Amino acid sequence: MRTKILSGIGCFLLAMSLWANPAAGEPFAVKNHSPVWLGLLFPTPDTASAAKTGEWRYRADMDYSNIFFIPTNGAWSFLFDMELAQLTLDARYGIADGLEAGVEQPFFHMGGGFLDDAVTKYHSAMNFPMYAGQQEAPHNRFMDSVFHNGRTWNSANPYTITNGDATLWLKKELFWSGESAISVKLLTQAPTSSTSSGMGNGAWEWGGVMMANHPVGSVEASLAVGYLNPGFIDRGEHYTLNGFYYWDAAMDWRLASRWSAIGQVTGATSPYAADTPLLVQRQWMALTIGTRHITQAGNKVEISITEDLSFSAPDFTIHIGVQF
């Protein structure tokens, strides 16, 4: 039911865009915040346009997720009941015509949180299904542990700030004309974070994403598809991960002179093998809706909410971003 309702909202938003005025197409910088993805290279949705030669651009994004995810089988136990705050700092520079280099550094804070009661009431009111045991679980408790064949992979300490692995990239525009652009983005993620904290995987990771921006009628559309190789996780044991595919599609349309609304769908296949619980193997998909304001100085401020469509990630994420 939740998938049908949220998919309907997404289709409605995209249909509404046919009557909108043009806006600068740029997706929200939202990610999968499921703890099974933390430490893995996951592309941040991005515009296909590169920074101009000699131009610096900066972003700061805060995401707050309510998480309940306890899949198990004979070999595996994933025990996640928490709230996660992620601050991501992003800097990029135009090093030549149509060529951009950038770096992204996340920071994490986990705890029992305060949203459990509000989220369960919200989902009940909307008749959205919940994970088994979610409604009966103690509110605002903290659990973050992974066990494989009796081995503890990680058991992170709550209420501490931990840095994640840093991501580096090069983006090259292959085509541009007016508001349309096609580019390729090559990424690598360095193992700069502790594997014992559950925020790093101990491997160099790499991937590539093709991105496009293009006006569709009176709407600015953006589309991205990519392939990522996360390598392995080394948290108490060496576990090989599969490469996975990623995609993102967004529609951006103007509500007023400096306000725009965005509807966005993001997804990825799972990097985990067939020996893991089915919820961990499931393809991830999420719907994001929100708004962006462009200040008189040209800076951008945005806020959005993300709902999981696939029962494989956090139920609910609030995103606030600033770009300057």
pLDDT at 230: 93
- Judged against a pLDDT cut of 80, whether residue 135 lies above it is answered with no
**pLDDT tens by residue, 272-287:** 988 888 878 888 899 9
Q: What is the pLDDT of residue 51?
A: 95
Which of 20-59 are b and which e, b meaning 16 or more Cβ less than 10 Å from the residue's Cβ?
Answer: bebbebbbbbbbbbbbbbbbbbbbbbbbbbbbeeeeebeb
Query: What is the C-alpha separation between 173 and 160, in angstroms, rounded?
Result: 40
Q: What digits encode the pLDDT tens for the residues 97-111? A: 999 999 999 999 988
> What is the average per-residue pLDDT within 167-174?
98
- Checking if the pLDDT of 123 tops 50, the result is yes
| Per-residue pLDDT tens over the stretch 179-214 | 899 999 999 999 998 777 667 888 899 999 999 999
Angle at 29 between CA 126 and CA 109, to 5 degrees: 80
CB burial of 219-238 (b: ≥16 within 10 Å; e: otherwise) equals bbbbbbebebbbbebebeee
Encode pLDDT of 37-88 as tens digits. Answer: 888 999 999 999 999 999 999 999 999 988 887 777 878 888 888 889 999 9
Alpha-carbon separation of residue 115 from 77, 83, 165 (angstroms): 24, 8, 27
Report CA-CA distances (Å) from 114 to 18, 83, 99, 162, 294: 39, 8, 43, 20, 31
Percent of the chain whose predicted confidence (pLDDT) is above 90: 45
β-pair partners for 54: none
DSSP state of 17: G
Question: How many angstroms separate the CA atoms of 102 and 32, rounded?
Answer: 21
pLDDT of residue 299: 93
Could you tell me what percent of the chain has a pLDDT over 70? 82
CB atoms within 10 A of CB 170: 15
What DSSP element (H or E) covers 34? none
- The residues, any chain, with a CB within 8 Å of residue 4's CB and separated by 6 or more, are none
Least confident stretch, 4-8, 25-29, 262-266, 300-304 = 4-8
- For residue 171, give the amino acid letter: K
Residue 132 has pLDDT above 80, yes or no: no
What domains does the chain contain, in order, with CATH numbers?
2-323 (2.40.160.40)
- The confidence band for 21, taking pLDDT boundaries of 50, 70 and 90, is very low
